[in-house]
Amino acid sequence: MNTVAEQVASHLLKFQIPSLETKYIFVTGGVVSSLGKGIISASLACLLKARGYRVTIQKFDPYINIDPGTLNPYEHGECYVTVDGQETDLDLGHYERFTNVRTTRANNVTTGRIYQNVINNERRGDYLGKTVQIIPHITDEIKRNVKLLGNTGDYDFIITEIGGTVGDIESLPFLESVRQLRWEMGRNAVCIHLTYVPFLHAAKELKTKPTQHSVKQLQEVGIQPDLLVLRTEHDIPAPMRKKIAQFCNVDPDSVIQSVDLPTIYEVPMALHAQRFDQTVLRKVGIEPQGEPDMKRWINFIDKMQNATEKVTIGLVGKYVELQDAYKSINESLFQAATYNDRRLDLRYIHSERLNDSNADELLSGLDGIIVAPGFGQRGIEGKFTALRWAREHDVPTFGICLGMQCMVIEWARDVLGLADANSTEMDHTTSNNVIDLMEEQKHISNMGGTMRLGAYDCELRPDSRAARAYGSTRISERHRHRYEFNEDYRERFEASGMRCTGINPASGLVEVVEVPSLRWYVGTQYHPEYSSTVESPSPLFLDFVAAAVAYRDERAAKA
């Protein structure tokens, strides 16, 4: 068996890539937020990786929270968890989905982390009595974190996305750090600026002025972008792109448009068609050789575009107004549907509005139901309603984290007859605490970064649905929770038909529950959606969607 080093060397030789000094690519945004810097960064990483380069992406966020773990999903969308247990921005999910490269704590840094590190240094006396200032102390700490992954020698390219919008006060220290790094790194550093070219429907015209002003703001802080990516709803004519290049001091072939597409997974190929990856390589002094190996990616796109029949999945949760709150679940379902040759028809069902009187109306016609993770009492009764309805109608059902805990509570109430069964998170006075606070969590007072976080091993029963889906009895998945299945009730659940089929070998924590007598009724304490990528879709999501497809076909055959 070749060592990892030998495999890497063989991979580089295949693409005739010499050993590189690490190159740094900075991605900034202007005009408005939510333009898709994360998708552009992930798409570039996908293309460079397909050329044989070792690539990773990091996100620098300008807010003062230490991490997104304490942020409300309405504020920030999904909190993504890395394998090493860091709560991070949802863009890291895109990074992993597009590159199949695992991220860590080093891939997401906030202003809060930067200031925390600097203040800790000052308290230790590391600055030898000097006055601590934005420049050089904060900017030096930012630069240190930018180069942290590059210093490992594991990567040829480090793509750094700067959160926020040029002109924001919060982003200034990060932009100043980028300015300094570009001078220090010379040709080993490149800046890509993503801006918006709006279309005014009244005038029926695209307008370039916002882009010009955005670049001007970037130039005012000392950064001249090397490439521009123009987000737009309409095709930008070549003369207009040339005009933008002239006004913004950018080479004409370095102005790339990013037109709205049906899915984010089509972006890499659309950028490659404009020679985006080739242009970036030339900017850092590398002459592109051949074409990126995108066979698997193109196969996925072909399956996605050629799927004609659909599969309808209902997602029951309390944050459904903001779809980014369940971003990884949405994308895992989309990937699984695509690999099952189906179009995903995803329906959001607000758990606060779901009850016994409208369950038939809202849930009938679904091929599968997912009960989403979350925290707190709000919307919990609607989740119980969904689970009872799904169980009684034998609809394929998947509970994730709190969704799995709700499966346990609903079963305890309706099957075991424990009317007051609950989680102590919802009712600390319940006499049947079938879900209880983990022992190591009972003396924790700080909320941030203190849950059971990151990847843990799980041993699956060989005859379980989960083991068949994974094709293995030993897996590792990521967690984000404080409460767990109460081991005191395990025998009663097993005897009544709900089996505990996945166990953490170190702690004995119940990780997976199943009801074998039903078509597909599985709950996981962990979050399998975090590890699902285009190249390596989650086996459990694939199996769940396959069961939903089979259920749909079965009903169609009877109709």
**Helices (DSSP H) in 371-527: which residue ranges?**
380-392, 402-414, 465-470, 490-496
Q: What backbone phi and psi angles, to 5 degrees, belong to 503?
A: -130, 135
**End-to-end Cα, the chain, rounded Å:** 54
H/E stretch holding 422: strand 422-423
State the DSSP string of 136-166: IIIHHHHHHHHHHTGGGT--SEEEEEE-S-T
Reference 269, options 238, 241, 252, 292; nearest CA is 292
Query: Which amino acid would we find at residue 112?
Result: G
Question: In sequence order, what are the beta bridge partners of 537?
Answer: none
Indicate if 439 belongs to the active site: no
Reference 209, options 193, 225, 191, 196; nearest CA is 196
366 token code pair: 């679904």
Q: What backbone phi and psi angles, to 5 degrees, belong to 334?
A: -65, -45
SS3 content of the chain, % helix, strand, coil (to 5): 45, 20, 35
The 3-state DSSP class for residue 132 equals coil
Q: Which residues contact 50 (CB under 8 A, 6 or more apart)?
A: 292, 293, 294, 297
For the chain, helix (H) and strand (E) counts, in that order, are 19, 23
H/E stretch holding 281: helix 276-283
Q: What radius of gyration do the chain's Cα atoms show? A: 25
What's the CA gap between 1 and 448, in Å, rounded?
42
What's the CA gap between 548 and 513, in Å, rounded?
19
The 3-state DSSP class for residue 55 equals strand
Indicate if 529 belongs to the active site: yes
C-alpha neighbours within 13 Å on the C-beta side of residue 25: 32
What's the CA gap between 423 and 406, in Å, rounded?
9
Reference 552, options 358, 342, 370, 350; nearest CA is 342
State the DSSP string of 165-183: -TT-GGGHHHHHHHHHHHH
Token pair 């949760």 is found at 317
**C-alpha torsion sign, points 311, 315, 319, 324:** negative
The 3-state DSSP class for residue 48 equals helix
The 3-state DSSP class for residue 343 equals strand
197 token code pair: 């070219």
H/E stretch holding 23: strand 23-29
Indicate if 401 belongs to the active site: yes
Burial class (CB in 10 A: 0-12, 13-18, 19+), 266: middle
Q: Which of 46, 401, 406, 500 is catalytic?
A: 401
What's the CA gap between 347 and 367, in Å, rounded?
11
Catalytic residues: 401, 527, 529
